[in-house]
Every structure is written in C-alpha cells, then in structure tokens.
Structure 1
Amino acid sequence: MELDDFKSAWKSVEFPMKGDREILSMIRESKHPVLKKIRRQLTIEVAGLTVFLACYWSLFDGASKHFFVNLLLVITLLATIWYNIYGYYIAKNIVDGPNLQASFQKYLRRMSGYALGSIFSKAFYAFSLIVFFTSGVSFHLSTYFALGTIAILFTIQLTLLSRMWAKRLGVLNELLSLLK
C-alpha cells in the first residue's frame, strides 16, 4: 500500500466517539487488565511473604537462630516486598515523557534496571533462606546432598528468571526500534 493510499484510508475511517466518562473509566487503574493481574500477583506474594515473616520465629525456630541470621532474613523479606511494590509502580507509570518515544525509552531503562534488581533480589532471597535454614544444622553427607540439590534448584530458577527478563527486554527493544 502506498503512503497516499494509506493516508486516504486513514482519513476515511470513522472513529467512535467516546464520552469523558467512558475514557476515564477505560484508563482507571482498577479497570486495566495488565495492572489487575500484576496487582493480584503482588497481593499473593506480599501476603505469603508477610505470613512467612509473621510465622518464621516460632514455626521455623527463628528464636534459636543467631541474631544476624534473623536480621538477614527479615531485611531480605522486607526488601523483596518493597521491590515488588516498586515493580508495580513502574508498570503503573509507563507514560512519563514529552512524547511516546522518550517515554518508552525511559520505561525501557526503568525496566532494565528493575530486571537486574529483580534477579539480584531473588538471588539474595534464596541465599538468605539457605543461610537461615542451615544455621545451626550439623552437616553430614545427606545434608550436603540436600543443600546441593536446593542450590541447583535455585540456580535453575534464577536462570529461568534471567531468560524471561531477557526475552521481555528484547521485545521492548524491538518495539523501541520500531518507534525510531
């Protein structure tokens, strides 16, 4: 299709008129399907981490662990909760620039930083869980085997998370190159 044909076809299309109320309801945060899914996932993760944080002291013998092991776990859990909320904030505030291209570049930079932080956050969280649950444990061959298996599983999870973020950022980079 030639450019002139495209322009004339564009001008001939009649767009449905939307009222102010309809437009406002479309852009409301509670109606946005992607934000709704992110909010649901955030709620589940924060609730789970909060329950774990509330119960770990008695349920997993946090009282018998060293102070710094408990401190590491609590800081890691709180940082993970905060970082999840920060990710929601980034997803909620996509448009932040004078035009679409500048806004998308800023969003891509934020998402790249968030992806890196997300991977490190999960790695630090896994590390703190391993430190917490192995604190005060006498090590035998079976314990080393179990710890090795857990470390392999955490490594696989982090690898999959890294690939997922690389794929997402690749799609965003392709979209940005189409805008240029």
Structure 2
Amino acid sequence: MDELQELWQGSEHDQNSKFNKEAFFNMIKLKSHPELMRIRIKMIVEIVSMLLLLAIYFDAFDGAERPFWLNILFVISIIFYVLSDVNALVQLSNPIRGNNLLLSLSSFKKVLYLNRNLNLISSFIFSIMLWLYFMFVVDFDNLKVIMASGMVITFIVLMYLSFKLWNNRIKKIEESITDLND
C-alpha cells in the first residue's frame, strides 16, 4: 500500500493538481453561466410555444382554407425552428468538451455563433411561412396591405432584436471565457 501511495504522490497528477482543480472549477463556472441559462430558458419557451402552435394551428387558424402545400411548408418551418432550438439546447448543455480547456473554450465560441446563425435562419424561415400562411387567403385592400407591411416590419425588427440579444449574450460569455483564460 505504501508503494502505491508513493507512486501516486510522485505522479503528474499530484504536480498538476492545482491546475486540474482550477480547470475543473472553471468548467463548472462556464457551464452554469447565467447567460447560458437565459439562452436555455428562451429555447425551452420557444420549443413549447412552437409545439403548441403546431398542435392547434390547423383548427384555430382555418388550415383547411389554405392549400395543402402551404400547410406542409408551415409545419416544416415549425419543425425546423424546434429542431434548431433542440440542437442549441444539446450543444449548450455541455460547453466543455475534451481535456484541453483552452481549445474547448475556443470551440464553444464557434458553437455559440453557429447556434445564433441557425436560430436566426430558422426564425426567418418561420416568419416568411407565418406571413404566407396568414396572407394567402386575404383579399387585399389598402388597410390590409398596410397591416401586411406592418407584419413584415415587425418580423424585421424582431429578427434584429434577436440578433442583438444573441450577440450581447455571446459577448458576455466571451468575457467570462477571457476571465477564465487569465
């Protein structure tokens, strides 16, 4: 038993134990970062909302009056939106991968930007399909053209705000990563 203890004390583990403990605590700190938690909550709310919309849209919004292809595209856009959020949740659930903390953090930043872009693309596609879905059976007059234009402007503003929100959250996470690297 004494031989094992001497081997353990003389091993690299003991010499680097401070680094290993520090790296471990840094990993925990990043994984429970408040911005990651906010992103997770946003994704969960979006997933639940989209699944509810998917469950009720046909009856609540007269899906029978729309062409079959439009209903299919609308459902596909909702599913794509949900899948992009699920992908983000999976990616964000484990921000640290591998043994090298610095490489893992660098990789995680790329994952954040990829998830931002995927979320914005799925939001854009969903917005287009939502607009088409509601505008397809409308007989346009001046007021309805203004309302449809208002929807487009609202979608653009929401996309911009989502972009800014993602960038602000990523920036805060990057600041934490920089702090961990120092």
Question: What TM-score, normalized to structure 2?
Answer: 0.73
| Residue type of the alignment partner of 1:67 | F
What per-residue deviation string (whole Å, max 9, x for no partner) do you get for residues 48-76 of structure 1? 22221111111111111011111111001
Q: Is the 8 A contact 1:97 1:106 kept in 2?
A: no
Q: Secondary structure at the match of 1:53?
A: helix
Q: In 2, Cα distance between the equivalents of 1:87 and 1:141?
A: 41
What per-residue deviation string (whole Å, max 9, x for no partner) do you get for residues 56-105 of structure 1? 11111111101111111100111111111111111101111231110101
1:77 maps to which residue? 78
2:131 maps to which residue? 130
Q: In 1, Cα distance between the equivalents of 2:49 and 2:70?
A: 20
Q: In 1, Cα distance between the equivalents of 2:62 and 2:47?
A: 22
2:13 maps to which residue? none
Q: Which has the higher contact order (CA 8 A, sep 6+)?
A: 2
1:158 maps to which residue? 159
Q: Secondary structure at the match of 1:46?
A: helix
Q: In 1, Cα distance between the equivalents of 2:94 and 2:87?
A: 11
Q: Any gaps of 5 or more consecutive residues in structure 2?
A: 1-27
| Residue type of the alignment partner of 1:91 | L
1:18 maps to which residue? none
> Per the alignment, do residues 176 and 41 of structure 1 end up closer, same or farther by CA in structure 2, a change over 3 Å counting?
closer
Q: In 2, Cα distance between the equivalents of 1:40 and 1:116?
A: 18
> Per the alignment, do residues 39 and 165 of structure 1 end up closer, same or farther by CA in structure 2, a change over 3 Å counting?
closer
Q: In 1, Cα distance between the equivalents of 2:48 and 2:118?
A: 21
Question: Cα RMSD over matched residues?
Answer: 2.6
Question: What TM-score, normalized to structure 1?
Answer: 0.74
1:49 maps to which residue? 50
| Residue type of the alignment partner of 1:157 | L
Q: Is the 8 A contact 2:33 2:173 kept in 1?
A: no
Q: In 1, Cα distance between the equivalents of 2:79 and 2:159?
A: 20
Number of residue pairs aligned between Structure 1 and Structure 2? 152
> Per the alignment, do residues 113 and 99 of structure 1 end up closer, same or farther by CA in structure 2, a change over 3 Å counting?
same
Q: Secondary structure at the match of 1:94?
A: coil
Q: In 2, Cα distance between the equivalents of 1:158 and 1:107?
A: 23
Q: In 1, Cα distance between the equivalents of 2:178 and 2:44?
A: 34
Q: In 1, Cα distance between the equivalents of 2:135 and 2:69?
A: 13
